Amino acid sequence: MDGRGGKSVVVVGAGIVGAATAYFLSRRGYKVRLIEAVAPAAAASGSADGAVSVASKRPGPMMTTALAGIALYRQLEREGLFSGLFKQRPTVMVAEDESEVESLVGHADALAGEGMSLRRIEGEALRRYLPDVSPGVRLAIEVGNEGHAIGYEIVRRLIAASGVAVERDTRVLGLVDSGSGGSIAAVDTSRGRAEAEHFVIAAGGGSADLIGLPGIVRPRKGQLVVTERAPMLATTLPGALMSCRYLLSKDAIQGGGTAARRFGLVVDPLRTGQFLIGGTREETADTGNDLAAIRHLLASAVRLLPPLERLRVIRVFAGVRSATIDGLPVIGRMAGYDNLVVATGFEGDGICLGPLVGQAVSRIVAGEPGELDLRPFSPDRFAQRSLVA
Ligand SMILES: Cc1cc2nc3c(=O)[nH]c(=O)nc-3n(C[C@H](O)[C@H](O)[C@H](O)COP(=O)(O)OP(=O)(O)OC[C@H]3O[C@@H](n4cnc5c(N)ncnc54)[C@H](O)[C@@H]3O)c2cc1C
In short, whether 51's Cβ falls inside 6 Å of ligand 1 is: yes
- pLDDT (0 to 100) of residue 1: 38
In ligand 1, the atom with minimum distance to the C-alpha of 38 is 47
- Structure confidence at residue 181 (pLDDT): 78
Asked whether residue 132 is domain-assigned, the answer is yes
Q: Give pLDDT, residue 249.
A: 61
Q: Does 68 fall in a domain?
A: no
Residue 67 is assigned to a structural domain of this protein: no
Domain with 306, as residue range(s), is 91-144+217-324
- Residue 319 and residue 227 share a domain: yes
User: 240-262 pLDDT, tens per residue?
Assistant: 999 987 676 655 555 555 567 89
Q: State the distance from the centre of ligand 1 to the C-alpha of 118, rounded, in angstroms.
A: 30
Q: What is the CATH number of the domain that holds 157?
A: 3.50.50.60
- Return the best residue to mutate from 11, 16, 316, 344 for the ligand 1 pocket (most ligand atoms within 8 A of CB): 16
Weakly modelled stretches of the chain, pLDDT under 50? 1-3
Domain limit, last residue, from 324, 351, 370: 324
Q: Are residues 139 and 162 in the same domain?
A: no
Going from the Cα of 179 to the center of ligand 1, the distance in angstroms, rounded, reads: 32
CA distances from 245 to 95, 98, 165 (A): 8, 12, 42
pLDDT at 371: 87
Sheet with 147-148, edge to edge strand ranges: 51-52, 147-148, 87-88
| Inside any domain, residue 61 | no
Ligand 1 contacts CB of residue 237 (under 6 A): no
Task: Tell me, yes or no, whether 317 and 333 share the same domain.
Answer: no
Question: For position 260, what pLDDT does the model report?
Answer: 78
State whether 97 and 12 are in the same domain. Answer: no
The predicted structure's pLDDT at residue 114: 85
Split into its structural domains, the chain has a count of 2
Task: Provide the pLDDT for residue 214.
Answer: 87
Assess if residue 278 is contained within a domain. Answer: yes
Contact indicator for 70, 147 with CB cutoff of 8 Å: yes
Dist. CA 353 → ligand 1 center (Å) = 11
At residue 252, the pLDDT reads 53
Note whether 14 and 151 are within 8 A (CB). Answer: no
User: In angstroms, rounded to a whole number, what is the distance separating the alpha carbons of residues 358 and 354?
Assistant: 6
Q: Are residues 211 and 313 in the same domain?
A: no
Same domain, 230 and 193: no
Bridge partners (DSSP) of residue 31 are: 8
- pLDDT of 234 reads 92
Say yes or no: 29 and 131 in one domain.
no
CATH number at residue 136: 3.30.9.10
Helices 350-366 & 61-79 angle (0-180, nearest 10): 90
